[in-house]
Structure 1
Amino acid sequence: MARHIFIRFGRCQFDLANITVEPVLFLYMFANFLYFPTYQALIFNKVCIHSYRESFCEELQHNKTFKDDHKVEDDHVTSETSFWILKSTIALTATSFFTTVLFLGPFGDKWGRKIPVILPCCGALFSSISALLNAKFMAAPLVYLIVGPVLNGLCGGFIACLMAVYSFVGHISSPANKMMRLGIVEAMVFLAGAVGVFVSGMMLEKEGYVVTFTLVCVANGVAIIYAAVWLDNVQATNSEMLEREGCGQATLRFLAETFQCMKKRRSGWTLPALILQVLVLDVLMLCTSGDMDISLLYLREHLGFSQTMYGYVKGLDNFMRFSTLVLVLPFVKRLTTVRDLPLVIFGLISYAADFGITGFAQAKWLIFLAVCIGMFKGLPSAGLRATMSIMVSSEEQGRLFGLIAASESVISLLASLLFNQLYPATLSFMPGLCYVLGAALALFMVLIVGFVHYKTRRIDTAENPYMTFQEETNQVVNDPAW
């Protein structure tokens, strides 16, 4: 249980009780970013070993001339790897969707929010143990690669972790400091990505699969222990009403309220604006998930990136987005009156430029240039969620973000189906076509966000959400807890 422990810095003091789920999310995402590229490399290696000799696979991965001389075999291994990555993603996403929407949401409302935070960490631990065993026994059948994702999905996976963490922070935060705390939580994702992906490449090349997956297990284990010992089991204010409901009744009520959030009749142009912004978020998830599935294969096969170099570029990508959210965005909001949707448009243009350069790149330095130009890719997600949040009442916040999480889970699955089928099919004539299509989608989303901004820009001052943003920000700055 969290206890009040004060740390003093001169005349200022900080209560450690204010630190709640932030370390859990950092450790979980650090392990996730460390796990994913290593797991992709493991699949490539296992697929190759099951088709050819181990010595042949070593040359194929580390000898550029040998790879060029055996392009047919290399394309075969790449295509099979993409296929198994698709299977793993389906196994994880399909199970996590039902676990999150049908179980963890009602469970958190009825019995408290501690277990929903811990359970996804347990699933990640099971998944990393499975990957560790697959790395230890490389000759084991390929079907065992699916065991870890299934176990992870049954515990909720990535979607459940985000839902549980945001629900926890939203529950314990006051209206004055809620935005600040949620911003810090979101920044943990990018910080973990910067550290995790950067470390993964070096560890895999120097220490191998077993040591890397062991570190993933340790990170998930520490997250579980921290959450179990430190976090309070906060409960909803309507827990007495929920106690009279069965689990099935709570599940049905949760689903009904989630979808009623979008069906509810609203004044003016609010409902179409909400729907279009959810669409933009889903397209961003489509591009992001697709990039995660094919980026390692694309950069390694097309541009000759090593595992370490891949870690450098992805670590830099996440660090740049983290810096934008915690340094650039507060600076811009404090010194200007720019609204959120114009910032979203700017971020989408940055997103499109990043994907466009990556798709046409013929040299490694262009990938690093794309990362620098795409440093504002974190703005669209943050801006859209903030704008949608102020378009619904405070009682509908959980339902809105529950619906967003469910839709993003489905889109993540569709992205894997699309990109893992499209990428192998384009290897022979344009390997970067997936990124070019992603850039085109991002530019189309610019038009949609611009249209939403045009339709909503004349909202009366009394209903203007940005006035609320400014008032809450000023209150947070003066909050002694921060």
Structure 2
Amino acid sequence: MSSWCRSAFGVVGRVEPLVVLEQLGTSLFDTALLMVVKDRYADPTHPGTGARLSGEDEQQKAISDFYMVTNLIAQLTPIVPALLLAKAGDRGWRRVPVVVPLCGYLLSSVALLLVVLLGLPIQVMFGAAGILGITGGFCAYWPGVMTLASLASNTENRSQVMMRVELMYGAAGLLGSLLSGHVFLLYSSRVGHGTVLLCVCTLLHLLSLMHSTVLLQVREASSQPDESSALLPHASNGVPSETSSRKNTVNVVLLFSAAILYGSAVGGAVEILAIFVIKEPLQWNAAQVGYGNAAGFVIFLTSFLGAVAFRRCVSDVALILIGMLSFATGIYFMSFVIASYMFYIARSLGLFGLIPLPTIRSLLSQQVPSSLCGITLTTLQLALRLAALAYIPVFTKLYQRTLGWFPGFVFTLSSVVAVLGMIPISVVGCRWSRHRDSEETGATTEVRNADEDD
């Protein structure tokens, strides 16, 4: 019984249960926020919304402007806090980059709950986004989670461990999204739409904060590759991993470039997709929005299964290229969606779209010393956030200006940017091929010299 209890405590103390709790709460929050914003801009009786917007295009522009401001605040404010939290994590306080952002998530859900209960202006959520950013937000939380997963794994299975964390993240998002639309519609005579959903969301964020504070354990893998084997081809399944005291700057820059281009493509498309589905010709309600979000989280499952299957026969570089091509194909088809079934077809074409970023993070963690792992992953997340300061207004304004003639233009643009992201990854693959060939040539020369000496 004691061994069973220790095993159970070991499972509970891992990072996966925390990811599940947090993502369940976040998926509920995302649906609630979208529907509350939609209802507010369609109803002139609430404070802060101004006069009733006359047409659907005007409502779409108002909603997209709200999301643009909210996301810009959420992207800009975490930059310095996330760096400070990452430094604290690398100095031994590994749970700090996880615990502090979870406080921000909890406060954000409480703020939206108060907006619904007290009828506060929806602009209150601008302040909530600022609070989330000051506490580090996703920019600090996700690198903190990935750093814990990275430290608890060896280089041989690090990509698989990170994809497993992404799988749990996606499974929780799938479940939360499926339930969110139906729970949003639950109400009584005393409370309105969204109150029950936001109460559950707040409870989940509270539980995740308690888990990270009390139960989360920090582990480090006991077996690390030695210096003689660190440059062997199998060490990173695609690119050579560096020793504990070196880093490959060129590989790091190329991986950063690919991540920024691909992250911009995905972020810009997803930013508009949430608004796109509530306008004609789709005009989804809360339940359908939840189903659509769930379809997005199914990609976490298919990406995980694809990574496990493809890794047996292709390198990590090829795996990233497969994921980028999958997303580019699916989001290009999304440009021409005019019915719900077409939306799900487009989503299915991008079934491997979540493979690239966790695999890039895994390769990055193998290109720097372990003492720089946390700051490197956080710097990548910050780079993605800084890129968002450019692509969020660009995609938003392009969407507003193309509403009348081609609303899906931004999805075509996203597809092009994703294809561009394949270029630096291809260069990494070429560099690895040359490195492998030179090592094989060197090994052959050594064997030949040894034979001649004999």
- Does the pair score TM above 0.5? yes
Deviations 1:129-173 (A, max 9, x none): 1001111233x3343221211111111111111122222333444
Deviations 1:69-102 (A, max 9, x none): x9x522112111111111111222222222101x
For 2:133, give the aligned amino acid.
Answer: G
Task: Give the corresponding residue for 1:170.
Answer: 150
1:72-87 correspondence to structure 2 within 5 Å = 72-87=54-69
Query: How many angstroms does 1:444 deviate by?
Result: 2.3
Query: How many angstroms does 1:180 deviate by?
Result: 4.5
For 2:284, give the aligned amino acid.
Answer: F
**Is the 2:20–2:172 Cα contact (8 Å) retained in structure 1?**
yes
**Is the 1:112–1:233 Cα contact (8 Å) retained in structure 2?**
no
Task: Give the corresponding residue for 1:136.
Answer: 117
**Higher fraction of helix:** 1
For 1:424, give the aligned amino acid.
Answer: Q
Computed over aligned residues only, the root mean square deviation of the Cα atoms, in angstroms, reads 3.2
For 2:209, give the aligned amino acid.
Answer: I
**Identity fraction in percent:** 20
Distance 1:106 1:234, change over 3 A: farther
Deviations 1:161-211 (A, max 9, x none): 112222233344456665554332222221222122222222223452111
1:360-439 correspondence to structure 2 within 5 Å = 360-439=336-415
Q: Unaligned 5+ residue runs, structure 1?
A: 61-69, 236-260, 465-482
Query: How many angstroms does 1:14 deviate by?
Result: 4.6
Work out which of the residue numbers 80, 100, 104 in structure 2 matches 1:119. 100
Query: Tell me, what secondary structure is at the counterpart of 2:77?
Result: helix
For 2:39, give the aligned amino acid.
Answer: N
Deviations 1:47-73 (A, max 9, x none): 2323799xxx9xx9xxxxxxxxx9x52
Work out which of the residue numbers 258, 261, 282 in structure 1 matches 2:260. 282
Task: Give the corresponding residue for 1:96.
Answer: 78
Distance 1:229 1:386, change over 3 A: closer
Distance 1:30 1:5, change over 3 A: farther
Q: Matched residues in 1 for 2:180 and 2:95: separation?
A: 30
Q: Unaligned 5+ residue runs, structure 2?
A: 188-192, 221-241, 441-454
Query: Tell me, what secondary structure is at the counterpart of 2:292?
Result: helix
Q: Matched residues in 1 for 2:371 and 2:142: separation?
A: 19
**Is the 1:48–1:77 Cα contact (8 Å) retained in structure 2?**
yes
**Is the 1:353–1:373 Cα contact (8 Å) retained in structure 2?**
yes
Query: How many angstroms does 1:217 deviate by?
Result: 0.1
**So what's the TM-score if we normalise by structure 2?**
0.81
Work out which of the residue numbers 335, 346, 365 in structure 2 matches 1:359. 335
Count of matched residue positions in the alignment of Structure 1 and Structure 2: 409
Q: Matched residues in 2 for 1:172 and 1:384: separation?
A: 18
With 210-219 and 22-31 compared, the bigger mean Cα shift is at 22-31
Work out which of the residue numbers 4, 10, 19 in structure 2 matches 1:7. 4
With 371-380 and 282-291 compared, the bigger mean Cα shift is at 282-291
Query: How many angstroms does 1:298 deviate by?
Result: 0.5
Q: Matched residues in 2 for 1:461 and 1:192: separation?
A: 43
Q: Matched residues in 2 for 1:462 and 1:215: separation?
A: 57
Q: Matched residues in 2 for 1:137 and 1:118: separation?
A: 29
For 1:296, give the aligned amino acid.
Answer: A
Distance 1:462 1:390, change over 3 A: farther
Task: Give the corresponding residue for 1:191.
Answer: 171
**Are 1:16 and 2:9 an aligned pair?**
yes
Query: Tell me, what secondary structure is at the counterpart of 1:219?
Result: helix
Task: Give the corresponding residue for 2:291.
Answer: 312
**Is the 1:127–1:149 Cα contact (8 Å) retained in structure 2?**
yes
Distance 1:5 1:421, change over 3 A: farther
With 368-377 and 207-216 compared, the bigger mean Cα shift is at 207-216
Deviations 1:382-421 (A, max 9, x none): 3323333333344443332122121012123333222222
For 1:7, give the aligned amino acid.
Answer: W
Q: Matched residues in 2 for 1:394 and 1:364: separation?
A: 46
Q: Matched residues in 1 for 2:350 and 2:2: separation?
A: 40
Q: Matched residues in 2 for 1:178 and 1:451: separation?
A: 22
Q: Matched residues in 2 for 1:164 and 1:387: separation?
A: 16
